[in-house]
Amino acid sequence: MPTLRTLVAIPASLALLLAPAATGSASSAKATDPFLSQFVIKGRAPAAALLDHHGGDVRYAAAGPGIARADHFRAGSITKTFIATVVLQLAAEHRLSLSDPVERHLPGLLRGRDTDGRRITLRALLSHTSGLADFTEVTRGAVPLTPLQAVRISLALPSTGLGRFSYSSTDYVVLGMVVRQVTGHSYAAEARRRIITPLRLTGTSFPGARASLPAPHGRAYAADGSDVTELDPRVAGAAGELVTTLDDLDRFYAALLGGELLPSHWLREMLSTRAAHGAYGLGIFPVKLSCGTTVWGHNGRIAGSYVRSAASVDGRHVLTFRVNTTAVADPTLEPALLTAEFCPRSR
């Protein structure tokens, strides 16, 4: 779930830290490298890594043992940007409209005590303004579910209010069902055909029920230190199933924001935050840094993995970082890292 945090002053002591080993171009040493080690020291992650593409400069850095650039890992809610891209492509092809009510594609699915699929549009699902409660509030990301089971759990919870922004993985589970209804294929098959194959994202997959990660991969750890490398992806489905790599995520966001995946009109629709009152676009969200620069992207959290991709609006500068645990203990580290990378005076 995206969290907009107030940026805090960066302690001067961080500048004294030794940067972890990095590979890349000759200009690879930058101010972000010392911050990366803080995800291990202060963030209490076993290991952390980042990959930055900025023009012709490619920089990889890592801190802690057992993590590598080529590793496959679970990307959690970054899956939502992929699903939103598929839906917007279908809209561009006039196979659906963002103003369509869910009822038009999935009749009778969204009927509850304060929920009516005749009033909830696809745009509301994409922007998290549907009012559908988040099924993971009950499952805590630990129970494999079918899409219908996830929806039923959501409908048993109070609505968060139609038209009000409230981040909910249920929205994207429903969108996955819409994609199947409109195309006759699963959201995974459509994402492979429309995004993964054209962009040659060879490390990216939708594993379905496969609990193991493709090789190569490191280990993934829960907050209590237990090993959760093996995980049934059906705990998240269309809201968080994706497995990928650092290189593939940088490539994906560069291509998306660079206009390779959506016509210009539909890319503008994706970046519009009007429905969510500035908090979220359609499967992507902005963060305004302390220097005034706005970065676009998404984060993803699933058992044993936290990932964040952020990019300039034109996709020419993309950074993805990850830790091999469920969450970062110190919430100031992520905004400090983004500020150091995207604000020129902070480098």
Beta bridge partners of 205: 243
pLDDT at 283 over 80: yes
Question: How many alpha carbons fall within 13 Å on the CB side of residue 88?
Answer: 27
- pLDDT one-digit tens code per residue, 173-190: 999 999 999 999 999 999
Amino acid identity at 229: T
Position 206: which residue type? F
**Of 30-34, 56-60, 101-105, 341-345, the least confident:** 30-34
- The answer on pLDDT for 26 being more than 60 is no
Per-position DSSP letters for 271-335, written without gaps between them: H--TTTTTS--SS-EEEE-TTS-EEEEEEEEETTEEEEEEE-TTSSEEEEEEESBS--S-TTHHH
Percent of the residues in the chain that have a pLDDT greater than 70, as a whole number: 90
Residue 75 to residue 299: CA distance in whole angstroms: 8
Please, what are the domains in the chain? 29-76+203-346 (3.40.710.10), 80-188 (3.40.710.10)
Query: What per-residue confidence (pLDDT) applies to 5?
Result: 34
pLDDT at position 132 over 60: yes
The whole-angstrom separation of Cα 183 and Cα 186 is: 8
pLDDT at 33: 64
Q: How confident is the model at residue 3 (pLDDT cuts 50, 70, 90)?
A: very low
Q: Which positions ≥6 away from 313 have C-beta within 8 Å?
A: 257, 271, 294, 296
Can you give the pLDDT at residue 346? 52
72-127 tens-digit pLDDT: 999 999 999 999 999 999 999 999 999 999 999 999 999 988 999 999 999 999 99
Asked if residue 276 has pLDDT above 60, the reply is yes
pLDDT in tens, 193-211: 999 999 999 999 999 999 9
What pLDDT, on a 0 to 100 scale, did the predictor assign at position 9?
Answer: 31
Compute, in degrees rounded to 10, the torsion defined by CA atoms 212, 214, 217, 218.
Answer: 0
The full DSSP string for 262-277 is: S-HHHHHHHH--TTTT
Percent of the chain with pLDDT over 90: 87
- Residue 244's SS3 state is strand
Indicate if the pLDDT at residue 6 is higher than 80.
Answer: no
- Global pTM reads 0.91
Is the pLDDT at 24 greater than 70? The verdict is no
Return the closest-CA partner of residue 86 out of 227, 277, 242, 287.
Answer: 242
Kindly tell me the burial class for residue 108, based on how many C-beta atoms sit within 10 Å of its own C-beta (0-12, 13-18, 19 or more). exposed
At which residue do the structure tokens 């139609």 appear?
162
For range 287-310, the mean pLDDT: 97
**What's the average model confidence in pLDDT over 52-57?**
93
Give the integer Cα–Cα distance in Å for 321 and 134: 26
> If residue 75 lies in a helix (H) or strand (E), which one and from where to where?
none
Task: Kindly report the average pLDDT of the chain as a whole number.
Answer: 91
Residue 120: Cβ within 10 Å count: 25
**Which carries the bigger pLDDT value, residue 56 or residue 25?**
56
Confidence of residue 2 (pLDDT cuts 50, 70, 90): low
Q: What is the pLDDT averaged over residues 267-294?
A: 97
pLDDT tens digits, 218-269 = 999 999 999 999 999 999 999 999 999 999 999 999 999 999 999 999 999 9
Q: What is the pLDDT of residue 15?
A: 29
Q: Give yes or no for residue 331 having a pLDDT over 90.
A: yes
Q: What is the DSSP string of 76-94?
A: GGGHHHHHHHHHHHHHHTT
Q: Which residues of 256-295 are buried (b: 16+ CB within 10 A; e: fewer)?
A: bbeeebbeeebbebbbebebbeebbbbbbbbbebbeebeb
* Chain centroid, CA 53 distance in Å: 18
Other CB atoms closer than 10 Å to residue 198's CB: what's the count? 12
Contacts of 4-7 spanning 24+ positions with Cβ under 8 A: 4/279, 4/287, 5/331, 5/332, 5/334, 5/335, 6/335, 7/289, 7/290, 7/332, 7/335, 7/336, 7/339
